[in-house]
A and B are shown apart, each in its own frame.
Chain A
Amino acid sequence: MAYTAEISRSNPSCFLFLIDQSGSMADSFGGDLGKSKADSVADAINRLLQNLVIKCAKSEGVRDYYYVGVVGYGAVVGPAFSGPLAGQELIPISQIANMPARIEERTRKVDDGAGGLVDQRIKFPIWFDPIANGGTPMCQALSIAKRIIENWINQHPDCFPPIVINITDGEATDGDPSFNVEEIKRLSTNDGNVLLFNAHLSSTRANPIEFPDSSTELPDQFARLLFNMSSTLPPYMQDAAKLEGYKITENSRGFVFNADIISVIRFLDIGTRPSNLR
């Protein structure tokens, strides 16, 4: 059965994030004039990495259940980490944990256990700052992604299939990305095909949509294109998503529109996850 390989330090899996850093990302996000799509992308990738690190963190440190890469596409296309991780394509998650560009202090409201809310100071690691420059060479980024994933699969033929998450406003300037996407989705390990999910950040003021099973409710052509390019959620992710209260059918896809894709990290199975841990 596909998508059942255990994810462990001896049989790690791989995450590849593709982030749109093109000039159009300077436009406002979801009709909110105070926030650009580039801000939203930086926020999304920082939080995805943060959540993935925390998922793999144990008392003694971070366990290398995943190797992670980030490919940026805009004026430049290629590995997007800066600092000591610059230029590297896939990095063990423990190195990412220990090498953010900087760590900020933020405050968040948390339940005080007695019906109220209290402020809690937390450390917030930053790996990426907003960038919006140049065209949207998504096809080129997907072609780099294919090469990185192919290499990974050659070295890890039995691993849980790699997951590629593309965060974009969907407006590729170097052609139709569908062909490149299909090539990536055809790659497989002995445990199933590579999964490719899309997070669409749009300037359109429209309600967020998470893991839809058809494109009929989607507001524009770019959203429909990205939906069509997204893998169907495998059964184990469907089950995890249902447990979290998402409306999921067997045709639900790994696609979100103007919404948070971080829940995908929670759907990953590396062991017991208490249902009261959010």
Chain B
Amino acid sequence: MTITAQITQLWSEKFGNTQEEYEDAFAPQISGEVSQDTISIAVADGATESSFAGEWARMLTNAFVSKPFLTTDKLKTLTGELSKEWNETIANKELPWYAEEKVLSGAFSTLIGIHLLTYRNYGSIGSWSAIAIGDSCLFQIRNDKLVYKFPIDNSSQFNDSPLLLSSNLSLNSQLWEEVKIQEKAFWLLEDVFILATDAISKWFLSKYENGEKPWDMLLKFTMLEQPNESFKEWINELRKSSELKNDDVTVVIIKMKSISKSPIQSTEKGKS
């Protein structure tokens, strides 16, 4: 069984920062239609107050899509391996005192990862599982309705001090109990999943709580050939009107298109 989905990736660095200073991450870096047996997508948000956080966020998203970890035990094992890799990446750099101190504290990041599969032999139903650390979110839309919010239910639940996954293993002890795992929920054809970092997730939930359908606006970008420039302009307008906190923003939209029995060769249209 093969799943076909359309993937759209949208991102914007914090206003006033350079693109190189963008510290969110998403994987895989594929936009367009994808056909595979299973599909794994991850988004992470490296914390501003830690150094080399973008690298840590990228490592986490890449690790999730190459081998989805959907239990706390697997996450613990993987964090140990990635922490070693992160430290090795930094170890060869000549750093001033403040950067050394910052490295000792470790890098911090959120993670939201979804793993999509087919379900038995049903041609129009699939299953999905997800893992969430911190305040990056997943929303499931069906028939123009928000049917699932994970792991945050309400816009009032966001704050600037979430518990995050650290490359410094000694700082993760309180975290493991806070890891949220969603096992084997269902998806139907034409469902849409949205993975998003905190600022835009908060905007999304606020609009929803106001009786609006915030996904309508996000879905418009999926119709564009090169959506990201328009997305950045729109995000900057939201920032100017104080509807959105000035922060790195990442949104990945997954539209579930079809399930087929015959293997379809994986296709990729364009890279982000």
Identify the closest chain A residue to B45 (Cβ). A272
A274 contacts B16, C-beta separation under 8 Å: no
How many pairs of A and B residues are in contact by the CB < 8 Å rule? 109
A57 contacts B99, C-beta separation under 8 Å: yes
A54 contacts B102, C-beta separation under 8 Å: yes
Known: A54-B98, A57-B51. Contact between A275 and B162, CB under 8 A? yes
Whether, in the assembled complex, B204 has its beta carbon less than 8 Å from a beta carbon of chain A, the answer is no
Whether, in the assembled complex, B48 has its beta carbon less than 8 Å from a beta carbon of chain A, the answer is yes
Which A residues are CB-close (under 8 A) to B47?
A: 271-274, 277
B49 contacts A274, C-beta separation under 8 Å: yes
- Write the nearest CB–CB distance from A53 to chain B, whole angstroms: 5
In the docked arrangement, what's the CA distance between A275 and B52, Å?
18
Whether, in the assembled complex, A33 has its beta carbon less than 8 Å from a beta carbon of chain B, the answer is no
Over the window 85-110 of chain A, the binary record of Cβ atoms lying under 8 Å from chain B Cβ atoms (1 yes, 0 no) is 00000000000011010010000001
In the docked arrangement, what's the CA distance between A269 and B175, Å?
22
In the docked arrangement, what's the CA distance between A105 and B50, Å?
22
In the docked arrangement, what's the CA distance between A79 and B102, Å?
29
Q: Quick check: which of A69-77, A118-126, A172-180, A193-201 contacts chain B, the rest being far away?
A: A118-126
Identify the closest chain A residue to B103 (Cβ). A59
In the docked arrangement, what's the CA distance between A125 and B101, Å?
11
B108 contacts A277, C-beta separation under 8 Å: yes
B16 contacts A9, C-beta separation under 8 Å: yes
Whether, in the assembled complex, A243 has its beta carbon less than 8 Å from a beta carbon of chain B, the answer is yes
- Write the nearest CB–CB distance from B150 to chain A, whole angstroms: 20
Identify the closest chain B residue to A103 (Cβ). B97
Q: Quick check: which of B116-124, B163-171, B215-223, B253-261 contacts chain A, the rest being far away?
A: B163-171
Which A residues are CB-close (under 8 A) to B96?
A: 61, 97-98
Name the 5 nearest CB pairs between A and B, nearest first: A271-B48, A113-B170, A123-B97, A274-B164, A274-B108
Footprint of A on B, CB under 8 Å? Answer: 16, 20-21, 45, 47-55, 96-102, 104-106, 108, 159-164, 166, 169-175, 198, 246-247
